[in-house]
Amino acid sequence: MIHSLEESPLYRVANPRTIVFFGVSNNKSSMGTLLMRATQVTGFEGSIYPVHRHDETVQGLKAYKTVADLPEIPDLAVIVLPGGIVAETLQACGEKGIRQAVIISGGFKEVGGDGVGSEKALAKIADEYGIRILGPNCLGVANPYAKICTTPIPIEGDPGFIGLASQSGSFIAQMYNYLARNHIGFSTAFSVGNQLNVDLVDCLEYLAVCPHTKVIALYIESINRGAEFIRVAQAIVPHKPIVAYYVGGSETGRRAAFSHTGSMSGPDDLYDAMFKQCGIIRAQSITEMFDICWLLGSMPRPEGRKVAILSHSGGPAATAADICGRVGLHLPAFTATTLEKLSPFIPDTGNANNPVDLTFTRNFSDFFLKIPQILLEDENIDMLLIYLFVPQDILKMKMASSGMSEEKVNETVDKMSWSIEEIAGELRQRFDKPVVGFTFRGMEELVNKTFIKKGIPVFPNPERAARSLQALVQYFEIRDTFN
Amino acid sequence: MIHSLEESPLYRVANPRTIVFFGVSNNKSSMGTLLMRATQVTGFEGSIYPVHRHDETVQGLKAYKTVADLPEIPDLAVIVLPGGIVAETLQACGEKGIRQAVIISGGFKEVGGDGVGSEKALAKIADEYGIRILGPNCLGVANPYAKICTTPIPIEGDPGFIGLASQSGSFIAQMYNYLARNHIGFSTAFSVGNQLNVDLVDCLEYLAVCPHTKVIALYIESINRGAEFIRVAQAIVPHKPIVAYYVGGSETGRRAAFSHTGSMSGPDDLYDAMFKQCGIIRAQSITEMFDICWLLGSMPRPEGRKVAILSHSGGPAATAADICGRVGLHLPAFTATTLEKLSPFIPDTGNANNPVDLTFTRNFSDFFLKIPQILLEDENIDMLLIYLFVPQDILKMKMASSGMSEEKVNETVDKMSWSIEEIAGELRQRFDKPVVGFTFRGMEELVNKTFIKKGIPVFPNPERAARSLQALVQYFEIRDTFN
């Protein structure tokens, strides 16, 4: 295990001071150009050197005919060339003294046949010059803190706390938007492709010491260095959670993974056992992987698995109770003190037992702050799940139909927005127990958006909320057995 | 089994010509007033009679001091009064000759204690006068075709094809928006509450003969008339699919259901066996229930369980392949003819085998129409799953950064929108095999929105798509064994 970022072979891949790009041109829509553009748009502050055989400038930057002509030795080479000329380019990089490369180009091991030999040729050159290679057949790296992004899609949203190592480039680049929509984001994300001489284990070691990374996510099609993977993961888990989604365990997944990155994957139960040995939380989908990361990176430690559910509707309360039970969470009875404190807030038609069902909401501050406060103070309760249903359009319609002027309606809604923001902020700050919401309405709606912005995760159904809470509990249970 | 809507005790509940409302007032935000408002907003064309002890008019309608004063016998009474005066009101309705009632009021069996006796009192009156009651402790009915809606939230979106019978009113009223966002909707939805003398079986019978209902959904906390339920469901399933979500099978679900509607639910395996005997598809969540209904109501019959996956990204393709395999769908190899036809469309870095992975999209019409056409023509393929990723904001940015004027960018995007609409429409019309999309981007984005609008379901991850396709296959397999 390394103890600082600087010891990692990925240090100057994820934090380069200077980069040379191969395969860029003045054709704005070529793949290479898109990658270089993404790094520029992300705000990279170091020097960028485009290499181009003919043009004097590329995308407004001075271009060089060969890598040998560069005025310095760049920290990183990004290669986006046809497969046939990658080897000679890598050789030239080696001769120049470059020791880190991202090879985006495909057509190697993953296509079989001649591709396997071509990849071996790259490995030989890498060995000869001591070059560490992310790829080939990858999308490289995205590090919003170092303002580098070698994927064709630029980073979206704010930097975040999820460190990702992925055998799919899409699950980096095509997730920026997904994570941004939930106000979470990557700390650093690596697309490892064919893992020539930098693999998931190297990424794990890097992310373990990365100060911006609170939780590590892995998209896995196969693991090459099994023993090292286990050793490194076991060393990380007591300090930082690891969540993995493994795609090669089904027959259809195995075949797809093979044609994707040439990976030889293993059966499901083998990986289950390995993940268990490592203390890694296994997610059943990409969605679930990021759900769990969201909670692990933003929620405090729950003392145990006892959840309180708060709703103003019986059906959503019952479904949440059902799924919480199914995933192994408990719904204990409240203490007599809690029931007494709740009593003034529960109408005759409602139910003060767990799940709490008000049957309707009298006011926001009771539902979103006072009742949660009572529930979270209960010594039997470790975490809270709230059903969110505040349809702004319907509230507006009701106000308008009660004879309110448009101006007054807008003023009232503004006031409501402000009050929800205040309530959500207070709810988040006041308690050291996890609080999570679920809703069936759009995430763009005021209450959902505000809760998420204020740091309370909201899921579009109770199942995702419950499974993520269960994983949060599971992580701390694992950690206790490791310590 | 009934053979026409008119035979159902719910006929004049779901299609009343005249309605009397109890518990309405000139206070716009009272529950009763909201319900009456919802029926008005929904466009009810018959007579509405508010009953009010003092006021001459209620919400602009002539009010009557008692039900006895009404100028005719209404088809339906909607009662939203405090629990204590429901019985005497029902009695007065009976005396007037009213034979259908929706009782919204709670405080009966579901609260236990005196509530049980109060409900028995209602049952006695109902027996005496032959009144059929939806409820108590329910939200009544929503029928967008008959323009009636007794829930506090008015119907949103267009009328649809899902017939719902639900032991939760929220799963009617709080789903309008959810279904509208996906361009699906209810045909008729019943909230049965405590099921005094109209239960899920009556709803099943009604929905079986309802011409607008293509698929029946059930939210179940418990079933009272087990034998009748099985007999009726078995008669329906060969003609119309039934999808059920049962919440009482876990210990936490059982307790929540009991405090919600006073239901005595049974263990999971009992319900599993019963659903199997009925030919009912069991959904594991509300989300999954509506997902499955979406496909069952809008997709043609798949010949078998062989799926083709089309993607331009390896990771999403592999995850889709993995989950398809896990839920029991097959990913067969394509025929030699298909591979030959595909060949001009697949770049060197891509993969023509199932899952098809282009690695990038050259143009929309290839990806969304020509390649799907080839795949769907393959005799080995029963259905198609496509990964959708067309980020409009990024396309716009690329165009702008390539020096295009704002006007030209907007023009190009308009043209693109139009072309996607045409492509999606053609894709939907040309084939008689199911086609479904998945994406990780927002449903409000152009391609996703357009596909859904044109009748191709799009899910926010491959898991929901695969599980719904599997249920679609399962339904027709069940149907074959029933016939």
Reported as a pLDDT band with limits 50, 70 and 90, residue A413 is confident
Q: What is the pLDDT of residue B430?
A: 83
Measured between beta carbons, the chain A residues lying within 8 angstroms of B153 are: 391, 394
Residue A402 has pLDDT above 70, yes or no: no
Which of these ranges, A136-145, A305-314, B407-416, has the smallest mean pLDDT? Answer: B407-416
Q: Which of B315, B124, B414 is nearest to A217 (CA)?
A: B315
The more confidently predicted of residues B427 and B145 is B145
Of A37, A250, A398, the CB nearest to B401: A37
The C-alpha of B84 sits at a distance from chain A's nearest C-alpha, in angstroms, of 12
Domains B5-296 and B302-482 share a fold: yes
Q: What is the pLDDT of residue B278?
A: 96
pLDDT digits (tens, 9 = 90+) for A261-286: 776 678 889 999 999 999 999 999 99
Mutate: best of A259, A359, A393, partner B, most B CBs <10 A = A259
Q: What is the pLDDT of residue A362?
A: 67
Q: What is the pLDDT of residue B58?
A: 96
The CA distance from A208 to A233, in Å, is 9
Measured between beta carbons, the chain B residues lying within 8 angstroms of A255 are: 321, 331
The more confidently predicted of residues A60 and A265 is A60
pLDDT digits (tens, 9 = 90+) for B328-363: 999 999 999 999 999 999 987 788 999 999 877 667
> What is the spatial order of strands in the sheet that B162-166 belongs to?
B148-149, B140-143, B186-191, B162-166, B215-220, B242-246, B281-283
Residue B446 has pLDDT above 90, yes or no: no
Average pLDDT on A118-123 reads: 97
Boundaries of every domain in chain B: 5-296, 302-482
Over its C-alpha atoms, chain B yields an Rg (Å, rounded) of: 26
Of B29, B221, B323, the CB nearest to A402: B29
Flag if B170 and A360 touch (Cβ within 8 Å). no
Q: Which of B465, B457, B456 is nearest to B428 (CA)?
A: B456
Q: What is the pLDDT of residue A29?
A: 77
Reported as a pLDDT band with limits 50, 70 and 90, residue A251 is confident
Flag if A322 and B221 touch (Cβ within 8 Å). no
The C-alpha of A3 sits at a distance from chain B's nearest C-alpha, in angstroms, of 31
Measured between beta carbons, the chain A residues lying within 8 angstroms of B314 are: 168-170, 256, 260-261
In chain A, the residue whose alpha carbon lies closest to the alpha carbon of B29 is A398
Which of these ranges, A23-27, A336-340, A407-411, B90-94, has the smallest mean pLDDT? Answer: A407-411
Measure Cα distances from A368 to A308, A374, A396, B353 in Å: 14, 11, 20, 52
In chain B, the residue whose alpha carbon lies closest to the alpha carbon of A459 is B287
Measured between beta carbons, the chain A residues lying within 8 angstroms of B442 are: 177, 181
3-state secondary structure (DSSP) of residue A311: strand
Q: What is the pLDDT of residue A429?
A: 87
Of B261, B286, B359, the CB nearest to A319: B286
The CA distance from B329 to B384, in Å, is 11
Q: What is the pLDDT of residue A257?
A: 81
Percent of chain A with pLDDT over 90: 76
Measured between beta carbons, the chain B residues lying within 8 angstroms of A315 are: 166-171, 174, 219, 260, 286
Of A331, A348, A463, the CB nearest to B285: A463
Average pLDDT on B61-75 reads: 98
Residue A220 has pLDDT above 80, yes or no: yes
Of B247, B314, B318, the CB nearest to A318: B247
Flag if A256 and B315 touch (Cβ within 8 Å). no
Q: What is the pLDDT of residue B361?
A: 67
Query: Do B310 and B353 meet the contact criterion of CB atoms below 8 Å apart?
Result: no
pLDDT digits (tens, 9 = 90+) for A71-97: 999 999 999 999 899 999 999 999 999
What's phi and psi for B85, nearest 5 deg? -110, 15
Flag if B261 and A314 touch (Cβ within 8 Å). yes
Residue A397 has pLDDT above 70, yes or no: no
Q: What is the pLDDT of residue B363?
A: 76
Reported as a pLDDT band with limits 50, 70 and 90, residue B78 is very high
Flag if A331 and B252 touch (Cβ within 8 Å). yes
Reported as a pLDDT band with limits 50, 70 and 90, residue B401 is low
Residue B414 has pLDDT above 80, yes or no: no
Measured between beta carbons, the chain B residues lying within 8 angstroms of A349 are: 106-107, 111, 137
Of A255, A284, A316, the CB nearest to B170: A316
In chain A, the residue whose alpha carbon lies closest to the alpha carbon of B153 is A394
pLDDT digits (tens, 9 = 90+) for B150-202: 999 999 999 999 999 999 999 999 999 999 998 899 999 999 999 999 999 99
Average pLDDT on B461-473 reads: 98
Average pLDDT on A42-60 reads: 96
Percent of chain A with pLDDT over 70: 98
In chain B, the residue whose alpha carbon lies closest to the alpha carbon of A177 is B441
Q: Which value, to the nearest 10 degrees, does the dihedral of the CA atoms of residues B165, B166, B171, B176 take?
A: 20
Count of residues making up chain B: 483
Q: What is the pLDDT of residue A87?
A: 97
Reported as a pLDDT band with limits 50, 70 and 90, residue B246 is very high
Measured between beta carbons, the chain A residues lying within 8 angstroms of B313 are: 168-170, 174
| Phi-psi label, residue A148: left if phi above 0, alpha if psi -120 to 50, beta otherwise | beta
The C-alpha of A147 sits at a distance from chain B's nearest C-alpha, in angstroms, of 18
What mean pLDDT value characterizes chain B?
A: 93
Q: Which CATH architecture has domain B5-296?
A: 3-Layer(aba) Sandwich (3.40)
Of A175, A260, A389, the CB nearest to B318: A260
Q: Which CATH architecture has domain A300-482?
A: 3-Layer(aba) Sandwich (3.40)
Measured between beta carbons, the chain B residues lying within 8 angstroms of A182 are: none
Q: What is the pLDDT of residue A388?
A: 94
Residue A316 has pLDDT above 80, yes or no: yes
> Could you say which of 1.10.3720.10, 3.40.50.261, 3.10.105.10, 3.40.50.11540 is the CATH number of the domain covering B302-482?
3.40.50.261
Average pLDDT on B406-423 reads: 82
The CA distance from A365 to A372, in Å, is 10
Flag if B287 and A460 touch (Cβ within 8 Å). yes
